[in-house]
Chains A and B, each alone.
Chain A
Amino acid sequence: MAIINQATKELQVKIVYYGPAKCGKTTNLEQVHGNVQNVKEKGKLVSLATSSDRTLFFDFLPIEAMAIKGFKTKFQLYTVPGQVIYNTTRQLVLRGVDGIVFVADSQYDKMSENVESFTNLEENLKSQKLNLSDIPYVLQYNKRDLPNAAPVDYMEYVLNNRELQVPSFAASASKCDGVFETLNMITRLLLNKFINEGSRKTP
């Protein structure tokens, strides 16, 4: 869980980008790394990948936001490998997660992979005694630029038809479209959560 260090007024937050293989998770981190401008400190993007550029373990990007009202806020962005065989690795990366960005591939023929990956996310959280409904998350419908992208309404119907609907964003990560909107929304949800939990009074 997020580390709140009162001594140094520091908040550390872990965000995991989840989704099927090749949906654009790594691309999201690369775009954030390449295009972010107003941060205090940007670490280097570490990728534990195979020679063919598939994420093997995870990508990792540490990034420190400008002090938000006196708090140093350090974000750690991770991706998971999407391939089905790497499930153990995905479980490891989810340890201590605070917020999730679920990246879906908008192409029609990827819909069943999207659903499978979403179900897998819920199962992996359960194995850590976590519930998706307790964790802030947002959806990103990526690759909107492709001609065979399914309509956003359809994506919403497939992936966002739970009792509680979450914010969703259309994106073309390779052009950086929607990348910052997605990151800022999950950030906002997380900070809100900390504030609400923090202001809870001792009984």
Chain B
Amino acid sequence: MFSLPQLFGEDIEEFNSALDRLLSQTDALAAMIIDVGGFLITCRGENSAFDATTLAALAAASFSATQQMAITIGESTFNSVYQQGEKFSLLLQDVNGQCLLVVIFKADNSVGALKYCSTDTIERTKSQLGRAQERHPSQGLDLSSLNLADPSAVFKRKQE
């Protein structure tokens, strides 16, 4: 079972810096790192233009479904998914089996160039995830301030 390591500020900073570099090299609109379970880890670029949380969930699902298709036809893996639209295109690439790189770019830009440039982004993300994994999993984790003796429900129903 995969399990994402706990992420610290330095991890996110490194992801962001790798994504920013990719954006500046390719003039893609936005790039994000998500986990295969569908969580958004970080998003750079013009992320106000779309609902990044929903996109992350759908991208992860689409990628997983594609992986499953690969297995079904006897391929060991498809490590990327590319969708070309009229205005925008979408490229999903595997990082390390736990995380994916999602890039939204203008449809008239070349996917080949983008793939070429993202090799470095993927490498940097992968190494940082490796470093995060090597730390002790509970290091620095302090959730003890969450006071669950507090009986108030997290989610409240509207009163009619």
Q: Which residues of A contact B (CB under 8 A)?
A: 1, 3-8, 11-12, 14, 32, 35-39, 43-44, 46, 48, 57-58, 60, 62-63, 65-66, 68-71, 73-74, 76, 78, 88-89, 92-93, 95-97, 128-130, 176, 179-180, 183-184, 187-188, 191-192, 194-195, 197-202
Contacts and interface: CB of A to CB of B under 8 A. Distances in A.
A188 B159 CA distance: 22
Q: What DSSP secondary structure best describes chain B's contact surface?
A: loop
B41 interface: yes
Contact of A76 (B12, B57, B140, B157): B57
Q: What DSSP secondary structure best describes chain A's contact surface?
A: mixed
Given A6-B8, A46-B54, A69-B147, A97 B157 contact: no
19 contacts: A1-B37, A7-B12, A43-B51, A43-B54, A48-B61, A57-B61, A60-B54, A62-B54, A70-B145, A93-B61, A95-B2, A176-B157, A184-B154, A184-B155, A191-B154, A194-B143, A195-B148, A197-B141, A199-B144
Contacts of B49: none
Given A96-B39, A195-B144, A1 B154 contact: no
A95 B36 contact: yes
B113 interface: no
A149 B46 CA distance: 51
Interface residues of B, number: 47
Interface string B14-44: 0000000000000000000001111101000
Nearest to B60: A95
Interface string B116-160: 000000000000000000001011111111111000011111110
Instruction: Name which of B13, B57, B157 has the most chain A CB atoms within 10 A of its CB.
Output: B157
Contacts of B142: 198
Nearest to A202: B136
Nearest to B145: A69
Nearest to A95: B37
Interface of B: 1-4, 6-13, 35-39, 41, 51, 53-54, 57-58, 60-61, 64-65, 68, 136, 138-148, 153-159
A39 B57 contact: no
B75 to A, nearest CB: 16
Nearest to A176: B157
Given A3-B35, A188-B154, 8 more contacts: A5-B12, A39-B155, A60-B38, A60-B58, A130-B1, A187-B155, A195-B144, A199-B144
A1 B3 contact: yes
